[in-house]
Amino acid sequence: MRKHVYLLLVLLFGVLLFACSSNEIIEQVEKEKEPDIVDDIKEDEPVEDEEILPEEIAINNWVREITVGEEVNLEVKLLPDDATNKDIKYSSSDENVLVIINGIIKGISPGVAKIRIEAVSNSSANLSFDVTVKEKAQETLEVSDDEVTLHVGDTYKIEYEVTNTTSKAEFYSKDLDYISLDRNGLVTAFEVGKATVTVTLGDIKKDIVFNIIEREKTSEEIIDEVIKGIKIPDVTSEDIELPDIVDGVLIDWTSSNRAVLSDKGEVYYTENIVLVKLYATFTHGDEDVDKTYVINVKPWSVERRIQEVFDSIEIESVVSSNLTLATEYKYGVKAEWESSRSDVISPSGEVSFKENEIDVILKVKLFVGESNMEKKFTVKTIATKKMNLHYFVERAEEFNAKTMHGLELKDGKIVLEEGEVYGYYDSAIYETLKFKELVGSWAAITGKNATCELLVKVRVGKNWSKYFTYGIWGLGRNNLYYNQNDVMAKMDTDEILVPTNDGCAYQYRIILRRDNVEVESPVLSLVAITMRLTDENYTYDVDTSKLPTFVDYDVPKVNQNVVPEIGSVICSATTSTMLLKWKGLDFSDKDEYENRYIAGLVADRGHNNPTYGNWVYNTATIAAFGFDSYVRHMVSWEELKWHLANVGPVGASVKGNIGGLYDTGGHLIVVRGYREVDGQTIVIINDPNINNRFGNDKNGNPLFVYYEVTLSQFMSFWRKTAYIIE
């Protein structure tokens, strides 16, 4: 009995020893399979004394961390594979954080929950582990470009980057007339225009704009396209359009026969067909291409010949001299003229000017064979006016509006019309006493960009000279003109001379210009004409009976000789300076020598380069400061005396012995007044040449500019020409 008990104890001890060993092996296996998972069985729980089943839990995809909303299907099974009951029970320690149903884990909110898995058939087969639920990270989408320029035919792969997602972007465009687009974001451009591709990732959208432009061509390709686009006829009698530049390609044209076809494509008259080669050089970048065109140039059509003559015939709307009305023209075209007033303008072009302006319609019929064309001209003949004086001043208010072109009378002055940069006025024809010399002058406010130009023509018998010009003149410009000649007369500096001494009429044209409409218009006050008459017995009656016996204007005294270098040749400019200073102007801020400053303004740079003694340029300078100033010849002391008493001092041109002090071949002084004492007249002058080198005056003071001479002395050296300043 004791023996049996002993054996039973030994057997029981062996079973216990085996069970302990077996549990250690299973625990070691579990640790090797998932060393990071801690078994949920606590060490202090009592181990039931029961039979251990062979099942155990295996997980193929361990989950430690998921995001809110993410679902994961755990791959769980019981081992061994031939276990009789496969049911498994799942549970979460906190279903507000995480739930698990049938092995599917879903994150609910951020936090940590413990998952328990156990076999239904054997609660000893179980596992527990923690799962962390994190907030879902924000997805982002970035594209490489937001605007892309492609040439037609180019392709472009849209590159993009995403974060916090494994999803792929999708591509969409509604502009498939210009591009093609595949599912991988490959764009192909095939039409010029603009297309938008939208890249989408969930709710995120990014737009990429594609600007499709023509493919850049080589210079050779560009030139080739231009050449193909230019059409040059093989046969022509009409002008050919030869462009200088097309689509950036420069074209240089050269004709082999410029008498028939010009380098510009103009076809000239020829009686027979002429073969012409037209050479063209096309240049783009560094590429040059030469091409030759062969053209048969035919004679003009009859209609073209007549049209060319038709277009070439022009008659000014105001007629001031005989017209040339030809009966035969180039290209074999003949003409017949008709006049609505043949007593005024004959069919041959002779004009009989009347005291009034006359409107005349001239009609020309051009023809070649039976083909013909007619053209009409409405012209106005200038009125003739009798002028029996040696000078004439036409003031702005007296201008005839009918012969003003682009000009208007405004505030008593002649100016350019609004929007005009050029305008002119034609005077009447003035029939005069016979003259041998004429001087024209004007008074106008001008500047470097606003100018006047006076032109004068003279008639000798029935024949007119050309227009002689005093040049385009503006205060401060580089003013100049040159001596001019024709068979009737000649222009010598400021004088128009008639060698035969029988000038009998004149007409003038005054032109106003400005550089652009933003520049103030020149402002014209008057035009003056003065003559030296042929008749030596001509008189000009002046009533001097009521004039005062003493007149003297306090004209500032300015000496010319103190000016370095040019002092000896600026008597005229110094005279003009004294007259301007008498009017209250001061130029000391321009130059310490005020007359040197004025000399620069009056300078005529076309004569003697320059000359400062041009009468007209001196009075034009005075007038440019806003005064009515002009040149006037006088015929007597009485005429000058009346002017001194009623208007003011003058500049006087002199020549010869000046008051017994010195001799001059030409000089300018200021006549500032006169004094009559005991029947003798003393003329009071400011002579810019007089200084202390001539001694002292009657009071013992050194001479300086101021001087007095007897009337007989004055008349011996005065040339009877004056600078007038009103």
Q: Give the integer Cα–Cα distance in Å for 309 and 328.
A: 10
Q: Give the integer Cα–Cα distance in Å for 511 and 423.
A: 6
Which of 109, 136, 163 delimits the end of a domain? 136
Domain membership flag for residue 671: yes
| Residue 269: other Cβ atoms inside 10 A | 15
| Residue 543: other Cβ atoms inside 10 A | 8
Q: Give the integer Cα–Cα distance in Å for 716 and 672.
A: 18
What total number of domains does the chain contain?
6
Tell me the backbone φ, ψ of residue 16, rounded to 5 degrees.
Answer: -60, -40
The distance from CA 107 to its chain's CA centroid, rounded to whole angstroms, is: 72
Domain membership flag for residue 24: no
Tokens 């050449």 found at? 227
Closest CA to 458 of 424, 504, 526: 504
CATH of the domain at 229: 2.60.40
Q: Is the pTM of this model over 0.75?
A: no
Domain membership flag for residue 401: yes
What burial class does residue 125 get, using C-beta atoms within 10 Å of its C-beta: 0-12 exposed, 13-18 middle, 19+ buried?
A: buried
- 235-236/287-297 β-pairing: parallel
Asked if residue 264 and residue 115 are part of one domain, the reply reads: no
Rg of the chain over all Cα atoms, to the nearest angstrom: 56
What burial class does residue 257 get, using C-beta atoms within 10 Å of its C-beta: 0-12 exposed, 13-18 middle, 19+ buried?
A: middle
Do 186 and 159 form a contact (C-beta atoms < 8 A)? Answer: no
Domain membership flag for residue 8: no
Q: Write the single-letter amino acid at 686.
A: N
Q: Give the integer Cα–Cα distance in Å for 194 and 209.
A: 7
Q: Write the single-letter amino acid at 256.
A: S
Question: Which tokens in the block code for residue 97?
Answer: 């954080």
Asked if residue 629 and residue 616 are part of one domain, the reply reads: yes
DSSP H or E stretch at residue 276? strand 274-284
Q: Write the single-letter amino acid at 418.
A: E
- 35-44: long-range contacts at Cβ-Cβ below 8 A with a sequence spacing of 24 or more? 36/129, 37/62, 37/127, 37/128, 37/129, 38/128, 38/129, 39/127, 39/128, 40/116, 40/126, 40/127, 40/128, 41/126
Q: Partners of 604 in the beta sheet? A: 611
Do 419 and 516 form a contact (C-beta atoms < 8 A)? Answer: no
Q: Give the integer Cα–Cα distance in Å for 616 and 614.
A: 6
Asked if residue 521 and residue 374 are part of one domain, the reply reads: no
According to DSSP, residue 611 is labeled: B
CATH of the domain at 84: 2.60.40.1080
- Outline where 293-365 has alpha helix (H): 302-312
Question: Which tokens in the block code for residue 674?
Answer: 């006169």
Average pLDDT per block of 10 residues along the chain, 726 residues long: 42 43 41 41 43 69 89 87 74 93 93 90 82 88 93 94 89 95 95 95 93 90 94 95 96 97 95 96 96 96 94 88 92 95 95 90 96 95 91 96 94 97 95 97 98 97 94 97 95 96 96 97 98 96 96 98 97 98 98 98 92 97 98 98 98 97 97 96 98 92 96 98 98
Domain with 491, as residue range(s), is 384-533
Q: Give the integer Cα–Cα distance in Å for 540 and 391.
A: 11
Domain membership flag for residue 157: yes
The distance from CA 475 to its chain's CA centroid, rounded to whole angstroms, is: 26
Asked if residue 158 and residue 72 are part of one domain, the reply reads: no
Question: Which tokens in the block code for residue 671?
Answer: 């006549």
Asked if residue 509 and residue 441 are part of one domain, the reply reads: yes
Question: Which tokens in the block code for residue 564?
Answer: 């370095």
DSSP string, 279-309: EEEEEETTEEEEEEEEEEEPPPPHHHHHHHH
Asked if residue 703 and residue 569 are part of one domain, the reply reads: yes
Domain membership flag for residue 457: yes
Which of 381, 405, 429 delimits the end of a domain? 381
- 412-420: long-range contacts at Cβ-Cβ below 8 A with a sequence spacing of 24 or more? 413/523, 413/524, 413/525, 414/510, 414/512, 414/523, 414/524, 414/525, 415/512, 415/521, 415/522, 415/523, 415/524, 416/512, 416/514, 416/521, 416/522, 418/517, 419/517, 420/517
For residue 597, CA distances in Å to 40, 535, 570, 604 come to 116, 41, 11, 14
Asked if residue 375 and residue 503 are part of one domain, the reply reads: no
Domain membership flag for residue 538: no
Domain membership flag for residue 22: no
Strands (E), 515-603: 523-533, 550-552
CATH of the domain at 587: 3.90.70.10
Q: What pLDDT is attached to residue 82? A: 67
Asked if residue 129 and residue 144 are part of one domain, the reply reads: no
Q: Give the integer Cα–Cα distance in Å for 720 and 218.
A: 79
Asked if residue 344 and residue 245 are part of one domain, the reply reads: no
Q: What pLDDT is attached to residue 318? A: 84
Question: Which tokens in the block code for residue 574?
Answer: 């110094």
The distance from CA 82 to its chain's CA centroid, rounded to whole angstroms, is: 98
Which of 102, 136, 170 delimits the end of a domain? 136
Q: Give the integer Cα–Cα distance in Å for 74 and 38.
A: 18
According to DSSP, residue 268 is labeled: P
Tell me the backbone φ, ψ of residue 17, rounded to 5 degrees.
Answer: -60, -40
DSSP H or E stretch at residue 33? helix 2-33
Question: Which tokens in the block code for residue 453?
Answer: 């130009």
Q: What pLDDT is attached to residue 293? A: 97
Asked if residue 125 and residue 154 are part of one domain, the reply reads: no
Do 142 and 165 form a contact (C-beta atoms < 8 A)? Answer: no
Collapsed DSSP state (helix, strand, coil) of residue 31: helix
Question: Which tokens in the block code for residue 443?
Answer: 């008074």
Asked if residue 580 and residue 435 are part of one domain, the reply reads: no
Asked if residue 509 and residue 402 are part of one domain, the reply reads: yes
